[in-house]
Amino acid sequence: MAIERVETTALIQIKDLSRTYGEGPATVHALRGINLNIQQGEMVALMGPSGSGKSTLMNVLGLFDRATSGSYTLGGQDMTRLTGRQQANLRGRRIAFVFQGIHLLPRLTALSNVELPMSYARMSASQRKDAALNALRLLGVDQLKDRYPSQMSGGQAQRVAIARAIAPGPDLLLADEPTGALDRKSGTLVLEAFQSLHQETGVTIVIVTHDPYVAQHAERIIALEDGQVLSDTRVEERLIAHHEDEPSKGEQS
Amino acid sequence: MNTFAIAWDSIWHHRTRSFLTALGIIIGVFAVVTLTSLGSGVQQYVNQKFAGIGANLITVAPALPTSHSHSRHRSHPVGNGAAFQAVPSTLTAKDVHALDHSGTKALRSAAGVVTVPMLIAKGTTSSSAGIMGVSYPYYGMQRMTAKAGSLKGSGVVLGSSVAHDLFGKSSALGQHVTIGTKTFTVTGVLKSVSGAPGSDPNNTAYLPLSTAMALSNQTTVSEIILAASSAQNVNHAVTIANRILAKSHPSHNYRIITSQEILKTVTSTTSVITDFLAGIAGISLLVGGIGIMNIMLVTVSERFREIGIRKALGARDGDILVQFLTESVLLAVIGGAVGTILSGLATHILGKAVGIPAGLTVGSVATAVLFSIGVGAVFGVLPALRAARLMPAEALRTD
């Protein structure tokens, strides 16, 4: 992995990335030549109306989908040539997800839910439990560890879901409309949780949203339209200082 | 949470549905195991019966000639005694004598048998008993012993139920009975014996062979029973018997049947029937398997979301495959276990009622276990593969 990391330290490098569905005249161009670099430790919002290609880009970033052409490297590693099994090995460990709905497994406790990606990673029971409790504490929901999802509020459940994503120590946290199912107040709490998580651990976060309010919580907003990057802007100076202070942080695996 | 616990949790969560699904397997395994157990019970019963008669016995019966054509035999059935037989007898008292005095160790003794188509009566009381003429070694071969009198006398020997029918509790010995038109003295009474299926030695009266032949005006015997010195020597004894009979029967108009052959025929017949029935029962197992496949497909589509989440959290295709296969196999094995237990009860009760040694055998239990694992695995593969191949993005989009 380190051998290929000569050009830059960008965590994510995307070059001329295209994704089409179908063939001939019915071809749908979901992504038309995206070029994008995301640095280690950035907190980015990926914005755009539905049909803009943001979900497709998120699926490609999360190894849920493959690009038709172009390149995608994560931490210097080419992601376009991975086998299904290699993809699965990265998912949940180096790339973690927080989804729109409350995607906790209903018949597992908070703690078991948070341990799940680490048990798929074949980590030992004690390591799993330690990491899970740490993550729950980090999100301020460790007192909920023995509760089932049905015994939590929406905001609590989403914070448990973020704890689950963060527990294995991923390089990249992808969040797809993470506040979509929440009211504004709980949504704000969840967004603040993302921000403090970002400050404390320096994990790279990409939030996909159509909501400008949500996007305002990121450092950088990349707007997509019709499968292309429309704009790429920095939000404020207040958080940027953070990752420049610690340029080499991250890369925990 | 391990795979087994996840599978059990899912089965338990849908108890009613799981029970109904397992019911297909319960019925299928029950049918297969019960039929194979009963089949092997019948077989054991037959084996025991044959061992009781004596595996060392050989029957020489008349047959159509194999080397020369003797057409007169076909068109002229001989007299009274042979009337029940499709083939007229050609075996004589001389043959019996020659075989009984073979001078070899392997062929220990021979006994002639004739059937006398007459009734036995005491005064006006008649009996339903059959009359047979036998030479003395016959009693030993059939393990018959005297309860009173002797078996070597010149009079009639009565089977236990014949004696009871004609004389009640009073002693039959020395009394007179009429067979056909002649009067005989009872010189022996047999102890009650259990005989081969299809004949009742207790309800038979026995005359000395020559007396019986003269009485019924027969010149030939119905069949000759040979006793080999042991079951291992049967083939050797057959060779000797063939050599002796070849002199008086150059056309080879007889056939030799060993009890091994009869046993083999009966065994192969019962096993064909058992296999056939088990095959039909197997169809219900197949139907049960389809039930499992159906419910697993439902389970998979109900759990699209769960599968998507698990895959997003790093579950490999194999993890998902194993998870769903475990569930279908567990379901089938539970069904198989319940079916086997029920079958054990049923065969035990049935075996007791019918009087055959039926019960669960190691073989039938092993068959049931393998069958149910196989059914669960085979019919679980398709749904499990469908689950495993689900793209996480698709699975999570179904909000």
Would the CB atoms of A120 and B9 count as touching at under 8 Å? no
pLDDT band at B1 (very low <50, low <70, confident <90, very high): low
Indicate if B312 and B367 belong to the same structural domain: yes
Indicate if B297 and B354 belong to the same structural domain: yes
Beta bridge pairs of residue A209 = A47
Beta bridge pairs of residue A206 = A44, A174
Say if B59 falls within a structural domain.
no
The tokens of B312 are what? 């997003």
Of B69, B87, B67, nearest to B77 (Cα)?
B87
Is B120:B166 a contact under the CB 8 Å cutoff?
yes
The tokens of B391 are what? 């793209």
A61: Cβ–Cβ under 8 A, 6 or more apart, which residues? Answer: A12, A72, A95, A172, A174, A206
Is B296:B384 a contact under the CB 8 Å cutoff?
yes
Tell whether the model's pLDDT for residue B83 goes beyond 60.
no
Indicate if B278 and B212 belong to the same structural domain: no
The tokens of B75 are what? 């068109």
Q: What is the pLDDT of residue B394?
A: 67
pLDDT band at B199 (very low <50, low <70, confident <90, very high): low
- CA distances for B6 relative to A114, A153, B2, B172, B295, angstroms: 16, 25, 6, 79, 17
Q: What is the pLDDT of residue B251?
A: 84
Q: Which among A64, A92, A101 has CB closest to B313?
A: A92
Q: Which residues of chain B have a CB within 8 Å of the CB of A101?
A: 399
Beta bridge pairs of residue B223 = B113
* Chain A nearest C-alpha distance from B394 (Å): 9
Would the CB atoms of B309 and A105 count as touching at under 8 Å? yes
- CA distances for B237 relative to B9, B60, B224, angstroms: 68, 12, 13
Q: For residues A110 and B223, what is the distance between their CA atoms, to the nearest angstrom?
A: 87
- CA distances for A252 relative to A81, A170, B225, angstroms: 23, 7, 92
Say if B99 falls within a structural domain.
no
Q: What is the pLDDT of residue A6?
A: 43
- CA distances for A248 relative to A9, A75, A151, B180, B182, angstroms: 9, 12, 40, 121, 125
Tell whether the model's pLDDT for residue B72 goes beyond 50.
no
Q: How does pLDDT run across A172-184, given as a tens digit for each residue?
A: 999 988 888 788 8
Is B241:B156 a contact under the CB 8 Å cutoff?
no
Indicate if B117 and B204 belong to the same structural domain: yes
Indicate if B121 and B36 belong to the same structural domain: no
Q: For residues B111 and B31, what is the distance between their CA atoms, to the nearest angstrom?
A: 46
Tell whether the model's pLDDT for residue B370 goes beyond 50.
yes
The tokens of B90 are what? 């050609």
Would the CB atoms of A64 and B393 count as touching at under 8 Å? yes
Say if B36 falls within a structural domain.
yes
Q: For residues A73 and A87, what is the distance between their CA atoms, to the nearest angstrom?
A: 13
Would the CB atoms of A105 and B312 count as touching at under 8 Å? no
Q: For residues A226 and A202, what is the distance between their CA atoms, to the nearest angstrom?
A: 31
Tell whether the model's pLDDT for residue A234 goes beyond 70.
yes
- Residue B319 sits at the chain A interface (C-beta within 8 Å): yes
Phi, psi for A142 (deg, rounded to 5): -65, -20
Phi, psi for A31 (deg, rounded to 5): -130, 130
Of B313, B323, B326, B305, nearest to B390 (Cα)?
B305
Say if B336 falls within a structural domain.
yes
pLDDT (mean) for A83-100: 85
* Chain B nearest C-alpha distance from A161 (Å): 11
Q: Is residue B249 within a helix (H) or strand (E), and if so which, with residue range?
A: none
CB contacts under 8 A, A 27-86 vs B, are 59, 62, 64-65, 84-85
Tokens 């603040």 belong to: A192
Say if B76 falls within a structural domain.
no
Q: How many CB pairs under 8 A join A and B?
A: 62
Say if B303 falls within a structural domain.
yes
pLDDT (mean) for A8-33: 85
Q: Is residue A159 within a helix (H) or strand (E), and if so which, with residue range?
A: helix A154-166
Indicate if B271 and B390 belong to the same structural domain: yes
Would the CB atoms of B309 and A92 count as touching at under 8 Å? no
* Chain B nearest C-alpha distance from A244 (Å): 30
Sign of the alpha-carbon dihedral angle for A61, A63, A66, A69: positive
Tell whether the model's pLDDT for residue B166 goes beyond 80.
yes
Q: For chain B, what is the mean pLDDT?
A: 84
What's the total number of domains in chain B? 2
Q: Is residue A195 within a helix (H) or strand (E), and if so which, with residue range?
A: helix A184-201
Q: How does pLDDT run across B303-316, given as a tens digit for each residue?
A: 888 888 888 888 88
- Per DSSP, which regions of chain A are E strands? 12-21, 28-38, 43-47, 69-74, 77-78, 95-98, 172-176, 204-209, 220-225, 228-234
- Residue A133 sits at the chain B interface (C-beta within 8 Å): no
* Chain A nearest C-alpha distance from B282 (Å): 37
Indicate if B130 and B27 belong to the same structural domain: no
Q: Which residues of chain A have a CB within 8 Å of the CB of B317?
A: 84-85, 88
Of B326, B324, B328, B320, nearest to B388 (Cα)?
B320
Q: Which residue in A has a C-alpha nearest to residue B394's C-alpha?
A: A64
Beta bridge pairs of residue B48 = none
- Residue B9 sits at the chain A interface (C-beta within 8 Å): yes
Is A19:A192 a contact under the CB 8 Å cutoff?
no
Q: Which residues of chain B have a CB within 8 Å of the CB of A89?
A: 314, 316
Indicate if B224 and B269 belong to the same structural domain: no
pLDDT band at B52 (very low <50, low <70, confident <90, very high): low
Would the CB atoms of B317 and A64 count as touching at under 8 Å? no
Q: Which among A90, A100, A103 has CB closest to B309?
A: A103
Q: What is the pLDDT of residue B187?
A: 92
Is A242:A248 a contact under the CB 8 Å cutoff?
no
pLDDT (mean) for A154-179: 89
Q: What is the pLDDT of residue B196?
A: 52
Q: For residues B115 and B218, what is the distance between their CA atoms, to the nearest angstrom?
A: 10
Would the CB atoms of B310 and A121 count as touching at under 8 Å? no
**What is the CA angle A154-A160-A166, rounded to 5?**
140
Tell me the H-state helices in chain B: 3-13, 15-53, 71-75, 93-100, 137-141, 160-167, 209-215, 234-248, 259-302, 304-312, 317-354, 362-389, 392-397
Tokens 């188509």 belong to: B117
Indicate if B217 and B163 belong to the same structural domain: yes
Q: Which among B305, B313, B393 has CB closest to A65?
A: B393
Say if B70 falls within a structural domain.
no
Q: Which among A59, A101, A120 has CB closest to B314?
A: A120
Q: For residues B225 and B99, what is the distance between their CA atoms, to the nearest angstrom?
A: 10
Q: For residues B243 and B158, what is the distance between their CA atoms, to the nearest angstrom?
A: 35
* Chain A nearest C-alpha distance from B369 (Å): 31
pLDDT band at A7 (very low <50, low <70, confident <90, very high): very low
Disruptive mutation site among A97, A113, A158 for chain B (greatest number of B CBs within 10 Å): A97
Is B177:B166 a contact under the CB 8 Å cutoff?
yes
Q: Above pLDDT 90, what percent of chain A?
A: 22
* Chain A nearest C-alpha distance from B18 (Å): 18
Burial class (CB in 10 A: 0-12, 13-18, 19+), A67: buried
Residue B300 sits in which domain range?
A: 2-50+265-396
Question: Computed over its alpha carbons, how large is the radius of gyration of chain B?
Answer: 33
pLDDT band at A242 (very low <50, low <70, confident <90, very high): very low
Q: How does pLDDT run across B220-253, given as a tens digit for each residue?
A: 999 999 998 887 888 889 999 999 998 888 888 8
Would the CB atoms of A93 and B310 count as touching at under 8 Å? no
Q: What is the pLDDT of residue A106?
A: 87
Is B308:B399 a contact under the CB 8 Å cutoff?
no
- Residue A122 sits at the chain B interface (C-beta within 8 Å): no
Q: Which residues of chain A have a CB within 8 Å of the CB of B396?
A: 99, 103
pLDDT band at B266 (very low <50, low <70, confident <90, very high): confident
Would the CB atoms of B316 and A85 count as touching at under 8 Å? yes
Q: What is the pLDDT of residue B112?
A: 92
Q: Which residues of chain B have a CB within 8 Å of the CB of A117?
A: 313-314
Indicate if B191 and B297 belong to the same structural domain: no
Say if B93 falls within a structural domain.
no
| Strand duo A77-78 + A69-74: pairing | antiparallel
A169: Cβ–Cβ under 8 A, 6 or more apart, which residues? Answer: A131, A252, A253
Cβ–Cβ contacts within 10 Å for residue A232, how many?
13
Q: What is the pLDDT of residue B76?
A: 41
The length of chain A in residues reads: 253
Q: Which among B9, B315, B391 has CB closest to A64?
A: B391
Indicate if B215 and B335 belong to the same structural domain: no
Q: Which residues of chain B have a CB within 8 Å of the CB of A88?
A: 311, 314-317
Q: What is the pLDDT of residue A248?
A: 45
Indicate if B284 and B384 belong to the same structural domain: yes
Q: Which residues of chain A have a CB within 8 Å of the CB of B312?
A: 62, 64, 91-92, 97, 99, 103
- Residue A169 sits at the chain B interface (C-beta within 8 Å): no
Would the CB atoms of B305 and A107 count as touching at under 8 Å? no
Last residue of a domain, one of B228, B244, B275: B228
Of A240, A200, A201, A248, nearest to A221 (Cα)?
A240
How many CA atoms does the CB half-sphere of B242 hold within 13 Å?
11
